[in-house]
Structure 1
Amino acid sequence: MAVMDLLVIITAVVMNRIPGIYSPGSFLFITPVCSLSIALIHATRDSSVWLTVAFTFDRFVAICCQKLKSKYCTEKSAAFVIGFLCALGCLKSVPWYFIHEPIYVIDNVPWYCRQKKIRYTSTVWTVFDWSDRILTPCLSFLLILLFNALTVRHILVSSTARRRLRAQNKKENPNDPEMENRRKSIVLLFAISGSFILLWMAYVAQFFYDRFTSNYKMKGFSDPKFILQESANMLQMLSCCTNTFIYSVTQRKFREQIKSAVKYPLNLLSKLGSPYSIALRHLSLGSAFFHKH
């Protein structure tokens, strides 16, 4: 998830948005390169969203389905799911490469990308466009919401049974670490569902507005349609960042791995630097000796 979300930032921001503002005449805007960049943006974005769905399902199985957990929650299954979803995201994004045409042709070199008119008139492209939006983010959000709701329900039922057992055992200590962990899990699950729907809401609203009004023209940068479109793109790219933060950075084991990754080069430098520090100390002592005499 972290790698795919980073690729979203690289393809959509570093290779597309930033050059579009600061170097609009670079080779990145030759039509074949531009078309490939757009296809990669869709591939990485869809893979990021569906990896989030897969991770949500993995958490659901790990918490609610103990019998299935030993078979499904393995490294082999995770590698297969990751590879399958990434390959499917790439295949699904191939048509985006062929839907663009150049705006200018200078010295037989096509420049920039605009969508062909066939996208708005062809039935095949209309079906593809609707299916693309239904799969990402509509269906993906519904699945995330479903799995999180089932997980929260399981946690609440288990918590109720645990409280009854503690009441029967007459334990006076009100602090229960297990109950605290379950409450944190519920907050985490609601956070990912809430952030996903809020950050993708503008993108879905903009798509339905365009399709039902059939008005695709924009008058300029101050046009409300342009502002809505760019805001929707910004928010859906931001969603790819928050997913990793909410799901990973809040996990104790992930924080431990981050600390280990930060400490490793420091420890390596200290080990490599120990001989040099000794040599520097001897040199300083020798220079002081010669200076004194």
Structure 2
Amino acid sequence: MSNPADAIKTMKLYSDVERVDRELRALGKTPHAPLTPEDLAAFDQLHYGGTGAVDEAIRRLGIDASTRVIDVGAGLGGPARHLASNSGCRVTAIELQRELHTSASRLTLRCGLEQRVEHLHGDFLQALLPVAGFDALVSWLTFLHIPNKALLLERCRSVLKAGGLIYIEDFFQRGPLTAPERESLERDVYCTALPTADEYRREMENAGFTDVELVDMSADWTAFVANRRRRFAADRVRFVHLHGPATFGKLDAFYQAIQALFEGGNLGGIRIMARAG
């Protein structure tokens, strides 16, 4: 599959996006009933740390009602809606996968946030976006899917205003990956290339970013993915009743693979903040 939008669908986390609608119905929310971002927070935050990670971006970047933000790899739109709802900012949420984009747009409408969150479907590297059009760029667990970090970060720099801020949460290589680990990353995570922390810093600086700050999140994320797997296993009966055994099996396999990768010690998590020079 040469089309990235098709290839990334091999990642089991993105299977059966309709499960959000089933969860909402189980909570008594009819298909067209108004929602709040809080109603969705348990289902639409596909990164680690939930809304707390988004609150950290708001705090660290100083996002407020005057800030124009682009969210790269917006998924189901959870972070974008949380950003807009909690800071009053305007967000452009770009997502490669059409199914996620369509669901995200619909959920944003149900939350009444369509005036503050604009959803775009497309490839961030190729989409028509304004040069120097944004005050801040945020992204959670998306950059790992894009192997050409130099091109990606140059694109990030081009859409940010001079002095604009970037906040990334991503994977990085803590130690030499074994052959099985590389195979798992490619098969289970759609990740074919990972930089070390030092390589990430150099790529950021080469792309024109200054004041680069790296925070190793590996310990927190290792604990998070282990707890996520335990909670998911404990919820098996309810989940299978609602979504079926096939969806449970796919997600359980994905959660197991991620837990094994982090506990192996060679895969790490990193938070990166920097300023566009």
Q: State the TM-score, normalized to the length of structure 1.
A: 0.24
* Higher helix fraction (1 or 2): 1
* Higher strand fraction (1 or 2): 2
Larger radius of gyration, structure 1 or 2? 1
Q: State the TM-score, normalized to the length of structure 2.
A: 0.25
